[in-house]
A = this chain, B = another copy of it.
Amino acid sequence: MNSPIMLEIKIGGNSIIYPQDLSKLLNKIAKILPAEGNEPIIINGRLPVWVFSALTYWFYHRPWIATYEPREIKGVVVGSRIADVSIGDLIEIKEIKKIYVEYP
């Protein structure tokens, strides 16, 4: 397992994204960060719940997936296939590698 990556998504324009944008957003992310790979993913952004859920589904085969929780200033693990990382675990995000995606 490699070091985790925090995926920071920014919705441009009026900050609104619609359900019909979802597959285009995923296509854009896919060019930057593949669905499968050895780095766990922490999802971050001011996004509707269905974008977080769609990205969780998208990155399902990663070692683990977390969503960033501003109230904890940490990631919360939402699914894991790694023995030493469990659902609900908090992930420190200091010094973490970040990848930025802006949509559209």
Count how many chain A residues have C-beta atoms less than 8 Å from C-beta atoms of the other chain.
Answer: 33
- Any B CB within 8 A of the CB of A34: no
Tell me whether A23 and B57 are in contact (CB under 8 A).
Answer: no
Asked whether A87 is an interface residue with its Cβ less than 8 Å from the other chain, the reply is yes
Q: Is A6 an interface residue (CB 8 A)?
A: no
**Which chain B residue shows the least CB distance to A50?**
B76
| Chain A residues close to B by CB (< 8 Å) | 19-23, 26, 43, 47-50, 52-58, 60, 65-67, 69, 72, 76-79, 86-90
CA gap between A89 and B54 in the complex, in Å: 12
Asked whether A65 lies within 8 Å of B69 as measured between CB atoms, the reply is: no
Which of B26, B60, B77, B90 lies in contact with A60, CB distance below 8 A?
B60
